[in-house]
Amino acid sequence: ELKVEQNPLFLSMQEGKNYTIYCNYSTTSDRLYWYRQDPGKSLESLFVLLSNGAVKQEGRLMASLDTKARLSTLHITAAVHDLSATYFCAVDKRGNSGNTPLVFGKGTRLSVIA
């Protein structure tokens, strides 16, 4: 059974600092997704990583994928309060085709403090 693990599960960061969230998964996949969820809200797609070595950046967030290590990272640069949210990584339940149900990690609850 595919397992997706994130760490840390809780992260309190000071504004202006950098940090990395890690996502490990247990089976082969060339495709990984990052979502953001604000309290009481639905999931917003952040990144779709489609191949080994893929790197995508949006503002202060950068995501990368190492399929050999079955590891993705979400790096936060110079955190600001607006980044406070829960971040989920997810992997296709079956293989690399997309179009299958997703298996999510438990999420990393990020709090950025002044």
Partner 1 sequence: DTGVSQNPRHKITKRGQNVTFRCDPISEHNRLYWYRQTLGQGPEFLTYFQNEAQLEKSRLLSDRFSAERPKGSFSTLEIQRTEQGDSAMYLCASSLGTGFQREQYFGPGTRLTVT
By CB under 8 A, name the binding residues for partner 1. Answer: 4, 33, 35, 41-45, 48, 50, 88, 90, 93, 97-99, 101-107
- The CB-of-114 to partner 1 minimum distance in angstroms stands at 25
| Nearest CA among 2, 4, 3 for reference residue 107 | 4
CB of 42 or CB of 82, closer to partner 1: 42
CB of 97 or CB of 114, closer to partner 1: 97
Measured CA to CA in angstroms, residue 42 lies from 49, 62, 100 at distances of 21, 21, 19
CB 113, CB 17: distance < 8 Å: no
User: Structure tokens of 72?
Assistant: 């993705």
The backbone torsions φ and ψ at residue 82, rounded to the nearest 5 degrees and listed phi first, read: -60, -15
- The CB-of-74 to partner 1 minimum distance in angstroms stands at 14
CB of 48 or CB of 71, closer to partner 1: 48
- The CB-of-18 to partner 1 minimum distance in angstroms stands at 25
